[in-house]
Chain A
């Protein structure tokens, strides 16, 4: 006796009408195609299981809610759901799909990105701007020495020649400039760290 093959559409309809076995038939009929499709995108068995499971949870919910319309075919519809979940996964993880980090050695453990991220860059700019404002509050002679030394990168010899004071005086002004800056920072509890 020849076993009659029930179409997907009929199985879906039976399932919506309460036949749980119809879902089992649908899953067993298409599981390999759907699983392989997800695997071809993510290459990670555990992840494939998760996405496969989430795909069918969506399928079950949609069918039980009666929100499925039999316009297209069942399998392409399920594939579309799986495809969307794969995209969601990569969006969430923000990484390239073909990167396989299953080996023991990961190049990213030794390679870092030395550039500051956007947040740290903003904080750094803010700190530098705050320091600039504090410097503006210093007495003129101390401010001049500090700016020449720190921002213009001049030696104390050059500073003493430019300002017409001895090197020791320039050194002393620098020392007081730093002491005064520290005092202001402590007094106002200003945080100047990144």
Chain B
């Protein structure tokens, strides 16, 4: 019975984001350009 309530902390073997997530971010960064116009900033995603 005690075992039911004494579940140990979940061990996490891999505390890293997925490779796809990192790749998405790097691609997003490459695609994003911020255009300055008359003190205004516009974001443009160039895909």
Compute how far the CA of A32 lies from the CA of B34 in the bound complex, rounded to whole angstroms.
28
Candidates B17, B33, B41; contact of A35 at CB < 8 Å: B17
- Shortest B18–chain A CB gap in Å is 6
Instruction: Report Cα–Cα, A66/B10, bound state, in Å.
Output: 40
Cα A48 to Cα B10 in complex, Å, equals: 15
Contact, CB under 8 Å: B10 / A43: yes
Residues of chain A from 31 to 83 with CB closer than 8 A to chain B in the complex:
31-32, 35-36, 39, 43, 48-49, 52-53, 56-57, 60-61, 64-66
A88 sits at the interface (CB 8 A):
no
- Once A and B bind, how many residue pairs between them come within 8 Å at the CB atom? 53
Contacts known (A43-B10, A65-B34); A35 close to B16, Cβ less than 8 A? yes
Chain A residues with a Cβ closer than 8 Å to the other chain, count: 22
Contacts of A60 in B (CB 8 A): 25, 28-29, 32
Neighbour of A49 across the interface among B10, B17, B30, CB < 8 A? B17
Are A20 and B26 CB-contacts (below 8 A) given A36-B15, A60-B32?
yes
For residue A24, which residues in chain B have a CB less than 8 angstroms away from its CB? Answer: 26
A-B contacts besides A20-B26, A27-B25, A53-B24, 9 pairs, CB < 8 Å: A23-B25, A23-B26, A24-B26, A35-B17, A43-B10, A52-B17, A53-B17, A64-B29, A65-B41
The 4 closest A-B CB pairs, nearest first, are A36-B15, A64-B34, A56-B25, A60-B29
Residue ranges of A at the interface with B (Cβ–Cβ < 8 Å): 20, 23-24, 27-28, 31-32, 35-36, 39, 43, 48-49, 52-53, 56-57, 60-61, 64-66
